[in-house]
Every structure is written in C-alpha cells, then in structure tokens.
Amino acid sequence: MDTYLIKYLRDNLDNELSKKYIDFFKIELDWHIYNSERHISKEYHRNREKGWKEKTVSLLQYSNAIFKKPSHSEKLNILSTINFSERNLLANAGFNPYSPVWQPMGRKNIFGDLKTINWHKKIQNLIQKKDFYEYLNENLYEELEDFQKYLIDKYREKDFRALLVSSDQYFYSKYFIDVFKKLDRPSLVFSHGLPAIYSTDVDNRSDYLMVWSEKIKQNYINSGFDEAKIKVIGNLKYKMIPNNKELRSNLSDVLIVPVSSILWHQHEYDNTVVVDKSMIVLYLYKVQKVLKKLGVKKARYRPHPSIDKQWVHAFLDQDFFICDNESLEDSLKHSSLVIGATSTVLLESLVNGVNYLVFEPKEENNINMAGLKLVPPFDGSDEKVMIACNEDELEKMLRFNALTDYSLVRDYIQDFDISILKELIK
C-alpha cells in the first residue's frame, strides 16, 4: 500500500527531471503536510514573518554581495554555510571562505549578485507562500536547470574548490551539492550533533560526511554508508576535555529533556512516521510521577526549540514544572541531574559534569514514543549509558543513583582535526 505522498509523486512522474526536483523539494513539500499546527514554534513555520531587524540585516548582506569586491587572495576559495566557533579557523588553514546569498553569514565575504538574489527571493516565495501544486511544474524544473548553468559559470570563474553545508535534506543543500558535482568539486556535509537517525536517505548525497568520532563513523557504516565517504573531523566546540570527571547526580535541581513529539518532514522514503504530538506531554507526566514518588517538588523541562513552549506548558502541572529558558550551557551549570530522551544533550551534560539518565519508553521493536527507531547509544547497545525503558526502571535507577559512564564523551567526541579538510580540498 502507498503510504507516503511525496514518494508516490516521485515514482509516478513521467520524466527524470521531474523526479529529480520532487526529490530536491521533498522537505519543503512535506511542510505542506506536516508543518501546520500550533505545537510547532513560530520560528519553524514555513511562512514565518521576518522582523524589521532581520530584514535590515538581509539588506546589508545583499548589499555586501553586490557592491563589495573582496581583495585578491592566494588562499583556496570555498563556499560554506558552516558557522565554526573559531572565526578565522578556515582562513588560518589556507582557505578563503565565502557564504552564499541563499544562506549568508555575517556581513563580509558573501558571494552572489543581483541575479542570484532575485532567484533566491523567487525560491523563498515559492517555499514560504505558494501552494503545494505549484511545485508540480515542469517549467519550474527547466528554469532551475537553466539557472544551474549560470551558477556553474560564476562558481567556476571564482574557482570555488568545495562546498560545506550542515545537511543535505533541504532544497538549497541538494541543489548546490548537485551544482558542485557538475563542477567536479567536492561537497562536505558536517554532522552537527549526535545522530538520532542513521539512514542512507539522510546526509548521503554529498561526497563526504564529516562526523565527530570513530564511533559515529562506525554507526554510519553499520547502517549502510560507504566507509570512504565518512571522515572523522572531531568537534571544535569542546577542547581539552578531561579523561575523567566526577558527575553531579542528585534530585535537588532536575532538568528534563523530553522526547520531541514533532516531525515536520519525513526522513525516509520507505518509512513513513506520523508522530502523536501529545507524546511530549505524556513523557513529562511519566517523569513527574516517578519524581514525585521520590519527594521531588519541582523540576525544569527543556523542549526542543522547534516545539512551542507555551503549547506544551498549558498541559502541565504549573506547580511542579518550570520551563527552562536559559541557554543550555547556563542551565547545565546548576543542574544536579538530567533525565532525557535521545539528544546530543547527553554529551553536553556529561561534559558539564552532570549525570544524564536516558528515559526512552519503547515498543518491542525498539520504536520510541516519537515513532522513531532508537539508535546507538540510546538503544541499549552501549553499557556505558544508563537507560530506563519504563517508569519502574527509572525509579530504580534514581533510587540507586545510577551513573552514566563519563568516558562515553571520549567515544563520541574527538579533538577537531583541520588537516582532514586540507586533504580533501585541493
């Protein structure tokens, strides 16, 4: 039985060009189906309105691209949408990074011209305001193919040696990875967290996938990825991580990182997941029940930024739950324990010296409350992680003060190695 509209469209269109662009617009088409309800925060709405400050910054960035000509450099030009925490990292490594007008960063070295800006605005208008059926237009696909020729000429003239992006799932990433393939220049996707899904449908179309550790690399290989494309570059954010650290672990100031019961697009073509949006509430109810048994009077909770906090809070016991609005770093500084679902916060918590107990209620086939298959290290395959699959197990772990092994940090975060980029980009 057909269960996914976008796959049906892709597989039943008459020509290869149409199939190609239905695939390129997959997530943007998904938004028309899955991203339309109150529980999604406004920042993640397809048609969100920009404020005057954001519009002003965009105008300055476009002006920079059109009018400011960068000085000549002997360094290798690359096009990048990656915001490294060290500002001059790429420049010091021998690269001259530009950000594109379709995802500009800062106000300098933005590459594009008026023609490209107008094209970008047209695509944005399509994505944000047009109806689903307007994507099903062969003339649109022909225009996109023609514009690639223009971009290829511009990028070849600039001699861009590589493309750096944070994902290959959105239209712009897919489109420009395709441009760089036609230029015969490498594209690199930088994994930006602890993966919650390992699938060859996700982050697999670039030439290389840059990951944090050998452990993550092996997880990708086990899921079917080509070993040669997975490169361990490490994590620039965390430096000089100690090999050992004593973890805080008590009930005085508990932070809960609930399951994200939201999915505004499908990750895979052959595994359609429809999430019950109330699962985040049910998850918090379950944790509250256990904590109250142990005498806890209040706890903080921290939803994923894509979920509307006010929508969640209206379901909760206002005397027990406090919505955490601090930065994650500040929040973890005073947290005494974190109870959470699948999240990169597992590693961030340990790095900050706070115990993290994984609470992932699941079905027999390892499917969690969000309808997603659990992956390492959240699936029980790693003995270093303390995992509770039901309320009784969570209560037992809390009573006996079970500790996740801090050394897990070193398994999943390696030191950043810029030499990998120098090897791949010539």
Q: Check residue 148 and give its pLDDT.
A: 98
DSSP codes joined into one string, 231-254: EE--BSS--S--S--PPB--SSSE
Q: State the DSSP code for 302.
A: -
pLDDT value at 36 more than 70: no
CA distance 81 to 66: 19
Segment among 69-83, 147-161, 406-420 with least mean pLDDT? 69-83
pLDDT value at 400 more than 70: yes
Using alpha carbons, select from 33, 35, 5, 32 the residue that is nearest to residue 262.
35
User: Angle at the Cα of 403 (from 402 to 406), degrees rounded to 5?
Assistant: 170
pLDDT value at 65 more than 90: no
71 confidence band (pLDDT: 50, 70, 90):
low
Average pLDDT, the chain: 93
Q: Check residue 265 and give its pLDDT.
A: 87
Coil vs helix vs strand at 405: coil
Query: For 257-303, what is each residue's pLDDT tens digit?
Result: 999 988 878 898 999 898 888 999 999 999 999 999 999 999 999 99
For 237, list phi and psi in degrees, rounded to 5. Answer: -65, -40
Query: For 326-369, what is each residue's pLDDT tens digit?
Result: 999 999 999 999 999 999 999 999 999 999 999 999 998 999 99
Quick one: what percent of the chain has pLDDT higher than 90? 79
Q: State the DSSP code for 264.
A: S
Over residues 370-391, the mean pLDDT reads 96
CA distance 174 to 25: 9
Query: For 220-264, what is each residue's pLDDT tens digit?
Result: 999 999 999 999 999 988 877 888 999 999 999 999 999 998 887
CA distance 403 to 350: 10
Which two structure tokens, joined as six digits, stand for 355? 């115990």
pLDDT value at 61 more than 70: yes
CA distance 305 to 280: 13
Which domains are delineated in the chain?
Answer: 5-190 (no CATH), 254-406 (3.40.50)
Segment among 1-5, 268-272, 408-412 with least mean pLDDT? 1-5
Burial (CB count within 10 angstroms: exposed 0-12, middle 13-18, buried 19+), residue 265:
middle
CB 165 within 8 A of CB 178: no
CB 164 within 8 A of CB 421: no
Over residues 172-194, the mean pLDDT reads 96
Query: For 93-142, what is each residue's pLDDT tens digit?
Result: 999 999 999 999 988 899 999 999 999 999 999 999 999 999 999 999 99
Q: Check residue 50 and give its pLDDT.
A: 81
CA distance 165 to 177: 9
72 confidence band (pLDDT: 50, 70, 90):
confident
Segment among 25-34, 38-47, 91-100, 340-349 with least mean pLDDT? 38-47
pLDDT value at 314 more than 90: yes
Beta strand 163-165 pairing with 187-190: parallel
List Cα–Cα distances, 276 to 6, 239, 316, 375, in angstroms.
Answer: 20, 39, 17, 20
CB 388 within 8 A of CB 357: yes
Quick one: what percent of the chain has pLDDT higher than 70? 99
Over residues 299-321, the mean pLDDT reads 95
393 confidence band (pLDDT: 50, 70, 90):
very high
Which two structure tokens, joined as six digits, stand for 332? 């973890």
Quote the longest CA-to-CA distance of the chain. Answer: 67
199 confidence band (pLDDT: 50, 70, 90):
very high
